[in-house]
Amino acid sequence: MNRFARVIILLAAFLLGVAWILESRERVAGAEPVLESAPIAGYAAPDFTLQSTNGETVSLSDFRGTPLVLNFWATWCPPCRAEIPFFQSASQKYNGQVAILGVNDGERPDTVLDFVGDYGMTYPVLLDTGSAVSVRYRVTALPTTVFINADGVIAELFPGIINEAVLEDRIESLIRE
């Protein structure tokens, strides 16, 4: 094949590629792009529905319009136990401004109920008995805390233990946002 024929084939392939891109892109006139759900900062928090320890069905989308703090934890986790008083205090201090939800990762409801009573947890605790939500949020370490703004977008994921000052700083940032 001579050089001229190769150039023609490459030019034709290029033009077909450009035409394919232009034809296959989504056309939405005047609409803002919709954020995809993803468990990373800057993306919409994936929605879920779980039972709480008091038997209520709770969905993440129920809290749209309110900043939200999700804390993934387990009763057997010493760092989780250490930070629970910080979340309890913050839930009382920021009541009505920020919602705090504890998401128990994979334990039996009776174990969690006993623990919640022993630790005096008054903020909602959700039962992720099959760990489906933890998997969806790609939680690889307990505790993990997810800060979600009022628009439902993840502001930050914080793996590991969090201290009271950092927790309150992140909550204040969500309120100011």
- Report yes or no: 109 and 125 within 8 Å, Cβ to Cβ: no
All residues at 6 or more sequence positions from 76 whose CB lies less than 8 Å from its CB, including other chains: 107
CB contact at 8 A, 137 and 27: no
Q: What is the pLDDT of residue 35?
A: 54
Distance of CA 21 to the CA centre of its chain: 32
Judge whether residue 25 has pLDDT over 80: no
Rounded to the nearest 10 degrees, the angle between the axes of helix 164-176 and helix 78-93 is 40
Mean pLDDT of 132-155: 95
Whether residue 126 contacts residue 116, with contact meaning beta carbons closer than 8 Å, is answered with no
pLDDT of residue 18: 66
pLDDT, average across residues 162-166: 95
Q: What is the pLDDT of residue 155?
A: 95
User: What's the token pair of residue 96?
Assistant: 């009505």
- E strands, the chain, in order: 49-52, 57-59, 68-73, 99-105, 125-128, 144-148, 154-159
What's the pLDDT tens digit per position in 28-75?
A: 445 555 555 668 888 999 999 999 999 999 999 999 999 999 999 999
Per-residue pLDDT tens digits for 83-108: 999 999 999 999 989 999 999 999 99
Say what the pLDDT of residue 36 is.
Answer: 58
Please give the pLDDT value at position 11.
77
Domains of the chain by range and CATH? 49-176 (3.40.30.10)
Token representation of residue 160 = 């590991």
SS3 of 128-155: ECCCHHHHHCCCCCCCEEEEECCCCEEE
Q: What amino acid is encoded at 27 in this protein? A: R
Per-residue model confidence (pLDDT) at position 38: 65
Assigned token pair, 166? 């950092």
Q: Which residues pair with 71 in a beta bridge?
A: 102, 145
pLDDT class for 7, splitting at 50, 70, 90?
A: confident
Span 111-122, pLDDT tens digits: 999 999 999 999
Mean pLDDT (the chain, rounded)? 89
pLDDT given at position 93:
96
Q: How far apart are CA 16 and CA 146, in angstroms?
A: 44
